[in-house]
Amino acid sequence: MQTTVRPLTIINAEGLILGRMASYVAKRALKGEEIAVVNAEKAVLSGKKPNKMVEAKIFLEVGHLRWGPTHYRRPDRIVRKTIKGMLPLDKSKGKQAYKRIKVFIGMPNELKDKKMESIEQANAKKLACTYFTVSEFAKEIGWNPGE
């Protein structure tokens, strides 16, 4: 059996709208690409921060520690779970696509000298409303960057 080495696509999430970036990454992963998302903490969420915090705190009350659902607080996990929600995980192609996605906080050393892409359609400069970063959101819901 012949194994094919897929090229790694590196996407810089800095200044990109989380949902639009996640849908773009999910589509490309479903096509068979290996994707690494770097600077996940610098992706942005649109809307007013107090409103989103109220929604998040209500959502965090749902569930149980042992049985779930799991509520991630780290920015890379938040971004990865957003991408996961856009994949058909009930099918094998969705599960395989999810395994091909890696998300990092900051820039890992092994990816520093590689060529990165940005997604023009997901640029936060196009937003007319207020926005804030995933890092700010994660800190509000309990992420400690020192851990």
User: Could you tell me the sign of the dihedral formed by the alpha carbons of 23, 12, 147, 133, in that order?
Assistant: negative
The whole-angstrom separation of Cα 146 and Cα 116 is: 27
Measured between its terminal Cα atoms, the distance across the chain in Å is 43
Overall size of the chain counted in residues: 147
* Among 26, 7, 11, residue whose Cα is nearest residue 91: 26
Give pLDDT tens digits for 32-82.
Answer: 999 999 999 999 999 999 999 999 999 889 988 888 888 899 999 999 999
**Which domains does the chain possess?**
8-140 (3.90.1180.10)
pTM: predicted TM-score of the whole model, two decimal places:
0.90
DSSP reduced 3-state for 46: strand
- In 105-147, the DSSP E strands lie at 116-117, 131-133
Confidence of residue 4 (pLDDT cuts 50, 70, 90): low
DSSP reduced 3-state for 134: helix
Q: What is the pLDDT of residue 118?
A: 92
